[in-house]
Amino acid sequence: MELICDSSNLENYLIETAEVNYSHPLIKEMASSLFSQLHLDVDKAKAAFEFVRDKVSHSWDIQGTLVTSKASDVLSYRQGICYAKSMLLAALLRSQRIPTGFCYQRLMLFDTPKKGYSIHALNAVFFKSLNKWIRLDARGNKEGINAQFSINKEKLAFSVNEGCDEKDYPVIYSNPHPKTVIVLNMYTNAIEMYKRHLPTYV
């Protein structure tokens, strides 16, 4: 699939927002710890990806009720849904001047269309050393999900079944999609939000 940027200016993929708050002391401290011995953008991206994937729990997997949205909160509490985890990965990489955007998939929420759909968030990272965008999904692995860092072939958490009305959106957004921000700010119980209130399309 050919990815499409919503902005032709790479600087827009480096901006700090309320959610991607990479000037926060916690983000700075973690960035210093993760990247102190690393210099290449690929190495930094791999370290950040694996940290967010493996050390920050997906709320549904642990049945955690706390809703996190800002990258600093995701880091502090070490949990969040995919929307929140994508904000943390973006914050860590943008703190290193590595352009990072947001991508989305429409997926079945559980195992059948009758149980509904939701929008799933992941990231796209621009590697200046490779002159290309690569999508990374730090949702978190478990049985049946095996997302990996790869600069050659995508190894995402989910494959899309278009026959079941799932969709892979090609746009790389420079900011988190407003629908994902709104839902994180509207609800206080992550399990209830996840089961009933996630957006179904972008």
Q: Give the chain's domain count.
A: 1
202 within a domain of the structure (yes/no): no
70 within a domain of the structure (yes/no): yes
201 within a domain of the structure (yes/no): no
142 within a domain of the structure (yes/no): yes
Which residues constitute the domain of residue 149?
4-196
182 within a domain of the structure (yes/no): yes
CA distances from 81 to 22, 86, 96, 100, 152 (A): 19, 9, 24, 18, 27
14 within a domain of the structure (yes/no): yes
Chain segment 128-139, per-residue pLDDT in tens: 999 999 999 999
pTM (two decimals): 0.97
Chain segment 127-184, per-residue pLDDT in tens: 999 999 999 999 999 999 999 999 999 999 999 999 999 999 999 999 999 999 999 9
Q: Which CATH number do you get for residue 182? A: 3.10.620.30
Cα–Cα distance, 56 to 142 (Å, whole number): 13
Cα–Cα distance, 76 to 57 (Å, whole number): 12
